[in-house]
Amino acid sequence: MKVREDDVTVAGDIRTRVIRPAGDGAWPGLLLYTDIFQLTESTLRTARRFAAAGFVVAVPEIYPHGELAGVALEFDDAGKAAGLAGAAATPTATFDADRGAVLGHLAARDDVTALFVTGFCIGGHLAFRAAFDPRVAATVCFYPTGLQNGALGADVADSLSRAADVTGRLMVVFGSRDPHVPAEARSQIVSALYAAGLDDVELHIYRGGEHAFMRDVGARHDPALTDLAIAEAVSFFAGRS
């Protein structure tokens, strides 16, 4: 399916790429959170794959208010340092407010029928928090970082302790070789989800998957696992129909 892309600004300063199937029609809206490197071509390629599968995909910058606004960071040490500094300077409340604005933009569009969320790394954690919004019907978190200890931004996030606030369906994907979410962290997360009474959750641990295995730049990329993860997510959003 062909797609079209537009750059929009949400709530005055949240630069967002919207990618949707070409032509007339309405599709589910998908808020897609990037990793710390923001709107890189790598992440946008993944977003295009979701759009081609039948979603109106909104990809916002996660640091839209400071010096990283408008900046797509390089996948190098300097880019990593800048991305981590951007996270450390952003309060959880700011991430939450931006989420509400982008979801509101999607909900108001004539070409959007429902609201879904996904994200990668820090974006996986942000996607988990987006699942607290009752408008969100389903969420897929890819290797979310910081869920187990609240590491997200400038303060300690209460994300995992609020697991009971997730009202829609939830799917979480981990790589078995991810040092940022090792086995003990995965166990902590899964235990908290069960303790919260969540009964519509899918949990996947991909054997051999490293952190950021879906980023199609660098030695950690696993094309086969990436294809599997995207296919699983699309099927999950569709209700496994």
Q: What is the pLDDT of residue 241?
A: 55
pTM for this entry: 0.97
State pLDDT tens for residues 227-241: 999 999 999 999 975
pLDDT tens digit sequence for 112-170: 999 999 999 999 999 999 999 999 999 999 999 999 999 999 999 999 999 999 999 99
CATH class of 3-237: alpha beta
Tell me: the pLDDT tens digits for 46-105?
999 999 999 999 999 999 999 999 999 999 999 999 999 999 999 999 999 999 999 999
Q: Distance between CA 75 and CA 73 in Å, rounded?
A: 7
Tokens of 95: 């991430």
Contacts of 147 (CB under 8 A, 6+ apart): 124, 125, 128, 159, 160, 181, 185, 189
* Nearest residue to 205 (alpha-carbon basis) of 236, 174, 170: 174
Q: What is the pLDDT of residue 199?
A: 84
SS (H, E, C) 66-97: CCCCCCCCCCCHHHHHHHHHHHHCCCHHHHHH
CA distance 151 to 170: 20
Interval 3-28 mean pLDDT: 97
Burial class from Cβ neighbours inside 10 Å (0-12, 13-18, 19+) for residue 5 reads middle
User: Tell me, what's the pLDDT at 35?
Assistant: 98
Q: What is the DSSP string of 85-129?
A: HHHHTS-HHHHHHHHHHHHHHHHH-TTEEEEEEEEETHHHHHHHH
CA–CA dist 130, 159 (Å, integer): 10
| Domain range list for the chain | 3-237
Q: What is the DSSP letter of 133?
A: S
Q: How far apart are the first and last CA of the chain?
A: 20
**H/E run at residue 196:** none
